[in-house]
Amino acid sequence: MGIYGKEGERIAFMDAQSDGGSVGIANNDGKPVAGMGAQTDGGLVSIYNKDGKAVAGMVAQPLGGMVTVANNDGKPVWSAP
């Protein structure tokens, strides 16, 4: 399911599958702002800057997880573990 702006750009969505799903929002230009996805064995959360580049994220899975922070160019500058 999606919500679209005046120019046809997707600004929000929700997707469901048998083993999980995802949701996301975008700015008025259709560039991603935040997203979240889940499956039976984990999930992820991502945050984007005004240019649509991922600047923070968190992933979880059965063997562990990771948190990542990136600069405005989307290049990772810190992560744990």
- Number of domains into which the chain is organized: 1
Q: Evaluate whether residue 80 is within a structural domain.
A: no
Residue 36 lies in a domain: yes
Q: Is residue 81 part of a domain?
A: no
Residues of the chain with pLDDT > 90, as a percent, come to 96
Strand pairing report for 54-61 and 42-48: antiparallel
Task: Give the model confidence (pLDDT) of 16-40 as tens digits.
Answer: 999 999 999 999 989 999 999 999 9
Query: Which residue range(s) make up the domain with 53?
Result: 2-71
* Spatial distance between the Cα atoms of 33 and 8, rounded to a whole number of angstroms: 17
Asked if the structure places residue 78 within a domain, the reply is no
Give the per-residue pLDDT at 34: 98
Domain membership flag for residue 10: yes
- Residue 48 vs residues 1, 69, 79: alpha-carbon distances, Å: 21, 11, 16
Q: What is the pLDDT of residue 59?
A: 97
The pLDDT of residue 76 is 97
Asked if residue 19 is part of any domain, the answer here is yes
Sequence-separated (6 or more) residues with CB below 8 Å from residue 7: 30
Say if residues 32 and 24 touch (Cβ distance below 8 Å): yes
